[in-house]
Chain A
Amino acid sequence: MPIKIQLFVEGKSDKKFISDYLDHLGLNDVEIIPLKGKGEVKNIPAPRLEKNQLQGVKNGVIIDADKDKEESLKELKKYANFNLFDEIFFFPNDRDPGALEVVLENCMSSTKKQDFEHCWFQYESCLDNFPQGFRGPFAKSKVYAYLESVSPVLHSKFQGIDKVDFKDSSNWDLNVSYLDPLKMFLTKL
């Protein structure tokens, strides 16, 4: 099937999650290009974007909002070829600060999440109780702990987010309303 959208994302992890989500939505006319980090968005060569436009393929970008979506957008607008992007979406939900990990936290299977958080909060409060203090919060660690605890472990090592099967409904819920903005972005592109 000819592609209609070329979607540039920050890396392999983003590609895997979005790719699984697109499968879940039944969208198969999107090609995802993983870059080597957010900073590489400005290095996407203009001729590649122009070629897409000449072929009727839309240029989409999904990157992390990080501390502030508007700040990230402002940075992106400095890119000389910003006008060649048709649509941009900021993880987690095109509004709040955050990154892919926040999306994943909101997609944990509800039953497993409850059990997992029961343990996780105990761990966090345990660390909080020490007078010398431990730095928190541990948002990213929480997601990675969940990922490691539910993913198949090969060679006694977690294989990385890009190897996770997000379509496995026993661990992940891709029907959560939290993903609606992303769904709208991908379907309207």
Chain B
Amino acid sequence: MEKEIKHLKYFKVECFKGLESVELNDIAQFNIVLGDNNVGKTSVLEALLFDEHPFTLLRRFYSMMSFKGLSSNEAKDYYNSLEFFFSNEKDDKVITYTVSYNQLQKNEFQFSIVDTNGMTEENIDNLKNNTLVDLSQLPNTIVLIKLNGMTNFYTTDINLYRQKKSAEISYQPFIKSGLSYDNDLVQFFSSTVNNDLKLRKEFISNLHFLSDEIAEITIDSTTVPNNPILMVLFNNNKRPIPLFMMGNGTIRMVRLILEIMMCKDNRLMIDEIDDGLHFSKMKKAWGIVLEVAKKYNTQLFITTHNSECLKMFKEVLEDERFEKIQKDVMVYNLFKNSENKVLNVDYSFKEFENAIENNIEIRG
């Protein structure tokens, strides 16, 4: 887990998938991204996987491909798949990210694929002179990253971002829609919580938001050899229960709590947070998410389509426990104009509250 506090205050992405340009101003700790189907909410969350460390960024692109079933060991397939992340509207394969962590200084990063066959000798020399990576021979396709107009990194070695050194390094702060129990949950638990007594105690304590009766979570590696599973022990049960046997809503909450903890002082993207949650449990779920995120100072970017979920978000923030964090809430509504261009408007909590109170639709 990274110790440095890295909450985005400003973020702009250009030419990323179907998004020509999306700009998020005044980013808060708790951010909701709303919009109609196919407007690009998930794309915004994927764009937020941006990281200024080139290897991390490349690994995250690789993960996004895996999310979509595009992972391959072939470098050629990787580069071809990368093409999907560049805007169809432009010939240049360049994604531009502008980010700020403090509102004062904005840095621009350009991520591009370059075909070296088309480059002049001079450009190639220029590239080699301006890069931090020593390259003995230049292959046909390279990934190029520029910081504030200057080339600072390029690579061709897909193993650098594909290899999984540890769960922590390969971790992607992105909870997909529909993601419930999976082996990754065991991996996260095992690599981050299981061997750290303090964190483990905190995790169990955080699970008490869910149920006071949870006494322990353990990994069972013997019942199903080669496939370790998470087991939950309740105070009033003699035998632990496999987590995957529990309801989707509970599993989803365990995942949310664990990943919010893992993203301490950093950001986590959650696609369709209401997925698997019954509407009667949404208010409690929001309470848990806010409580844990507040505790670990995790910045959240969340999408939902669900009006009940938004109503519960408003209600829980009106609760005495959370009134103070109303100022840490922003709601971004993405929409398309008549020219099919994706734009957005931003709601403060008060504006969001007024919209919900008056049944003013802000999801479309």
Residues of A within 8 A of B (CB): 33-36, 40, 43-48, 50-51, 54-56
Q: List 20 A-B contacts (CB under 8 A).
A: A33-B359, A34-B359, A36-B357, A36-B358, A40-B358, A43-B357, A45-B347, A45-B355, A47-B345, A47-B346, A47-B351, A47-B362, A48-B362, A51-B333, A51-B343, A54-B335, A54-B343, A54-B345, A55-B338, A56-B338
Distance of A13 from chain B, by nearest CB (Å): 15
Distance of B200 from chain A, by nearest CB (Å): 43
Distance of B351 from chain A, by nearest CB (Å): 4
Q: How many Å lie between the Cα of A43 and that of B354 in the bound state? A: 6
The chain B residue with its CB closest to the CB of A31 is B361
Given A43-B354, A54-B343, residue A48 in contact with residue B337 (CB < 8 A)? no
Q: Which of the four size classes fits the interface of chain B?
A: 10 to 19
The chain A residue with its CB closest to the CB of B351 is A45
The chain A residue with its CB closest to the CB of B354 is A43
Q: Does B104 contact A (CB under 8 A)?
A: no
Q: Are A33 and B333 in contact (CB-based, < 8 A)?
A: no
Residues of B within 8 A of A45 (CB): 347, 351-352, 354-355, 360, 362
Q: Are A33 and B345 in contact (CB-based, < 8 A)?
A: no
The chain B residue with its CB closest to the CB of A33 is B360
Q: How many Å lie between the Cα of A46 and that of B360 in the bound state? A: 12
Residues of B within 8 A of A (CB): 333, 335, 337-338, 343, 345-347, 351-352, 354-355, 357-362
Q: How many Å lie between the Cα of A48 and that of B343 in the bound state? A: 13
The chain A residue with its CB closest to the CB of B362 is A48
Distance of B249 from chain A, by nearest CB (Å): 31
Q: Are B333 and A47 in contact (CB-based, < 8 A)?
A: yes
Residues of A within 8 A of B361 (CB): 33
Given A54-B337, A55-B337, A56-B337, residue A48 in contact with residue B360 (CB < 8 A)? yes
Contact of B335 among A33, A46, A51 (CB under 8 A): A51
Q: How many Å lie between the Cα of A42 and that of B346 in the bound state? A: 18
Residues of B within 8 A of A56 (CB): 337-338
Distance of A31 from chain B, by nearest CB (Å): 9
Q: Are A44 and B345 in contact (CB-based, < 8 A)?
A: no
Residues of A within 8 A of B351 (CB): 45-47
Specify which of B333, B338, B345, B351 lies most central, judged by the most chain A CB atoms within 10 Å of its CB: B345
Specify which of A44, A47, A51 lies most central, judged by the most chain B CB atoms within 10 Å of its CB: A47
The chain A residue with its CB closest to the CB of B338 is A56
Q: Are B358 and A33 in contact (CB-based, < 8 A)?
A: yes
Q: How many Å lie between the Cα of A56 and that of B355 in the bound state? A: 20
Contact of B345 among A36, A43, A50 (CB under 8 A): A50
Residues of B within 8 A of A43 (CB): 354, 357-358
Distance of B313 from chain A, by nearest CB (Å): 15
The chain B residue with its CB closest to the CB of A51 is B345
Residues of B within 8 A of A55 (CB): 335, 337-338
Contact of A47 among B347, B358, B359 (CB under 8 A): B347
Which A-B residue pairs are the 5 nearest by beta carbons? A45-B351, A47-B345, A43-B354, A51-B345, A45-B355
Q: How many Å lie between the Cα of A40 and that of B357 in the bound state? A: 9
Q: Are A48 and B335 in contact (CB-based, < 8 A)?
A: no
Given contacts A33-B359, A54-B337, 13 further A-B contacts (CB under 8 A): A40-B354, A43-B354, A44-B358, A45-B351, A45-B352, A45-B354, A46-B351, A47-B345, A47-B346, A47-B351, A48-B362, A51-B333, A51-B345
